[in-house]
Amino acid sequence: MLKECSGKPLWLIFLATAAVHMLVWLCAFPGMGNVRYGDYAPQVENLKAGRGMVDESGRVLHRYPPAYPLVLWGLEGLSRGTGLPLFGILAGFAAVCNAATAALVWGLGRTSGLAAREAAAGAAVFGAHPFVLYGVLLPLSETPFMTVMCGSVLLALVGMRQASPKKLAAGGALAGLACLFRPIALLIPLVLGLAAAWFVKASRVRRAAAGLVVVTAAGAVLMPWVGWIRFRTGEWLMVSSGGPPTLRDGLSFNHKGFRERLDLPAGVKRLSDAAWEEYESLDSVGAYLGFVMRQAREDPLAVVQTYGYKAMRAWYGTDAQRKGVERFNCFVSCVFLFAAGLGVFRLRRGGWPVSGNVLLAVAALFWGMATVALSIARYTTPAAAVLAPFAGAAVGGLRARR
């Protein structure tokens, strides 16, 4: 199985994707001089000042997990040490990450039983996806996150196929590292662990042990960060404290000044207005769930309408709610999802692979998390990585008909 996921095609896909992405960056070069770290800027600045993840007042910066700020800090140090422009180094890093992810997508296709050309088509679909290309032009944590996440899924799938504890542990460890890039991955170790406990061909005890290996390895990677936060603050946090703000922000819609106003359905507007009135009190997951449950009793239609609307926006929405960009995103997502759907249909007719269940479960996880939290396309871009092999299967089906 490892031989199927390696060799000359892997390197060709890596080099071709990196070259194309750097070409995209060069075309946008004139506007790339001003580098902005966005929400990660406070962590990077305190790392540069030698304080680590602690600000001048001694407050621990745990709104975002530490992996991506550490990467940005390291890349900035590389820029200072070599004299190369920072925006070039960031673009090169993004191109390498996307190229590695495309190669891993090829590997995911091969483990799903696709022919080499079909798997390569899936990698090409991923590499050409506009949401992926956007990460070359702007520093985004999703870019390295997708590489680590796809690596964890691929290793876990190979580990399941071979009943290999070492590969399952490696997949679990990478899943834990993915959580340190983006908290949206927090349930991936559980998904992979359950998949291992279900699909590994062994006795019940060995299957349960396989699932436990994945989850334990992920926990071993996460616990130093979680334990350090506990030591410094006395609080137990699940990777970061950004969950409640993101959950309530996902209901605000037209109530923030930097966003363009949307023509919201009536039920969505009612729930959004109610959430805005209680915005400051929705400062925990419990408060958020309590608000939603109360609204479900008082106005169930509004709750159903809101989360249905958010589920659609998760594939095309933007934080700024710019209508022109969202129309473009909607078109891209419809084409991509249609191709992925055709690939699923084709594989189901020809013999559905076990890995297909895992890839769909991971994609559903990202979709569900984006639906519940801030529903924007950037948060579902990682789902495109695990769905790309299905799009490759659809392209392969068209080639076969020709």
Query: Which candidate, 182, 181, 117, 178, places its Cα nearest to that of 152?
Result: 178
Q: Is the pLDDT of residue 2 over 90?
A: no
Distance CA 343, CA 324 (A): 29
* Cα atoms in the Cβ-side hemisphere of radius 13 Å centred on 217: 26
pLDDT digits (tens, 9 = 90+) for 232-290: 999 898 899 988 999 999 998 998 888 899 999 999 999 999 999 999 999 899 999 99
pLDDT digits (tens, 9 = 90+) for 3-58: 555 567 788 899 999 998 988 888 876 555 566 787 899 999 999 999 999 999 99
Of the chain, the percentage scoring pLDDT greater than 70 comes to 95
Mean pLDDT of the 346-359 span: 88
Task: Round the average pLDDT of the chain to a whole number and report it.
Answer: 91
Q: DSSP letters along 136-185, please?
A: HHS--THHHHHHHHHHHHHHHHHHHHHT-HHHHHHHHHHHHHHHHH-GGG
Calculate the alpha carbon distances from 345 to 75, 131, 182, 338 in Å.
43, 25, 31, 11
Distance CA 148, CA 146 (A): 6
pLDDT digits (tens, 9 = 90+) for 164-189: 999 999 999 999 999 999 999 999 99
Distance CA 140, CA 144 (A): 8
Instruction: Please state the separation of Cα 309 from the chain's center in Å.
Output: 21
Dihedral, CA of residue 269, residue 275, residue 277 and residue 283, to nearest 10: -160
* pLDDT in the model for residue 66: 96
pTM flag (> 0.85): yes
* pLDDT in the model for residue 191: 96
* pLDDT in the model for residue 353: 87
Cβ-based neighbours of 174, under 8 Å, separated by 6 or more: 148, 149, 151, 152, 155
Task: Indicate the DSSP class of residue 124.
Answer: H
Which residue do the tokens 């939290």 mark? 373
Query: Which candidate, 269, 38, 15, places its Cα nearest to that of 141?
Result: 38
Mean pLDDT of the 192-210 span: 93
**Alpha helices by DSSP H, 234-299:** 243-249, 266-277, 285-298
* pLDDT in the model for residue 148: 98
Of the chain, the percentage scoring pLDDT greater than 90 comes to 76
Q: Helix, strand, coil: what percent of the chain each, to 5?
A: 75, 0, 25
* pLDDT in the model for residue 35: 67
User: In the structure, what pLDDT confidence band is assigned to residue 82 with cuts at 50, 70 and 90?
Assistant: very high
Mean pLDDT of the 323-349 span: 94
